[in-house]
Amino acid sequence: MSSPHLHLHFAADGVVRLSLRRPEARNALTPEMVAGIPRLLEELRALPPEECRLVVLRGEGKVFCAGADLKAMRTSGRASETENREDARRFATLFRSVAAFPAPVVAAVQGAALGGGFGLAVCADHVIAEDTARFGTPEARLGLVPAVISPYVVRRLGPGRAGPFLLGGAVARGLPALAAGIAHELTPVGGLEDVLGQTVERFLGSAPRAVRQAKALMLREAPLPPPDIEELTIRAIAEARASEEGQAGTAAFFAKVPPPWAPSGSG
């Protein structure tokens, strides 16, 4: 139930750890990881509630997740329209699989959760973050669109708080991340495991089937994006990748120069 860059660890108390294992690349999401996480979560869905009471989402190394692998993203922009959309659809499936998982999902964030990493965080039910961890969506700064994560960011933060992230590339850490509702608990650097242990123990104090029923109610009360909205976001990111801005922005990123629309003197 694991792959080279993903690993599942089962504990006797019903806590399952799903770890991103690409620390040398700041756990940037490869196409294989994007497709693999939903498959693993689907396998976990088949377990009795007592055997999967809680999923802990972690990233190995110094960074939780730096988002999508930009080399793969740039390649997708040069692919056919069909291939580009199918790749975007896999991202939409990824975020839905986390947000819709029937048991609670706890994300423990160190370093940064950017782009797709931010998406994973806002799809989790509970986020513990080191007080220096950064949360943000830099896509628009690259000529891309934070499309498939946008319904989940808006669902979590509300339109008013989501705007600075989705439109202006804002980054939050520490108390601002807590106040925005991105993180639920903060810990000093090095204290993540201790706080995570306390949080897990608190969740395990609730009955597994009752918790699943409560989460099912929450998903009805605050629904996930309907198919037409999801399809809209898939088209938006696919078109942005292939656009002149998207190609120029990612090229500037790899060249380590400001994109053509940035104010002079920036960088």
Q: Which tokens belong to 127?
A: 């986020």
Residue 71: pLDDT over 90: no
Q: Kindly state the average pLDDT of the residues 127-150.
A: 97
Residue 168: pLDDT over 70: yes
Give yes or no for a contact between 123 and 152, defined as CB atoms under 8 angstroms apart.
Answer: yes
Separation in Å, CA 140 to CA 39, 49, 167, 198, 202: 29, 40, 7, 37, 38
Q: Kindly state the average pLDDT of the residues 91-115.
A: 98
Q: Is 239 a catalytic residue?
A: no
CATH tag for 6-191 (out of 3.40.50.300, 3.10.310.70, 3.90.226.10, 3.40.190.80):
3.90.226.10
Separation in Å, CA 165 to CA 94, 120, 173, 201: 20, 15, 12, 32
Q: How far apart are CA 184 and CA 115, in angstroms?
A: 19
Cβ neighbour number for residue 159 with a 10 Å cutoff: 9
Among the listed residues 139, 185, 230, 244, the single catalytic one is: 139
pLDDT digit string, tens, across residues 23-47: 999 999 999 999 999 999 999 999 9
Residue 80: which residues within 8 A CB-CB, separation 6 or more?
none
Q: How far apart are CA 91 and CA 201, in angstroms?
A: 31
Lowest mean pLDDT among 38-47, 75-84, 106-115: 75-84
Indicate the pLDDT class of residue 112, thresholds 50, 70 and 90. Answer: very high
Please report the pLDDT score of residue 264 as a whole number. Answer: 79
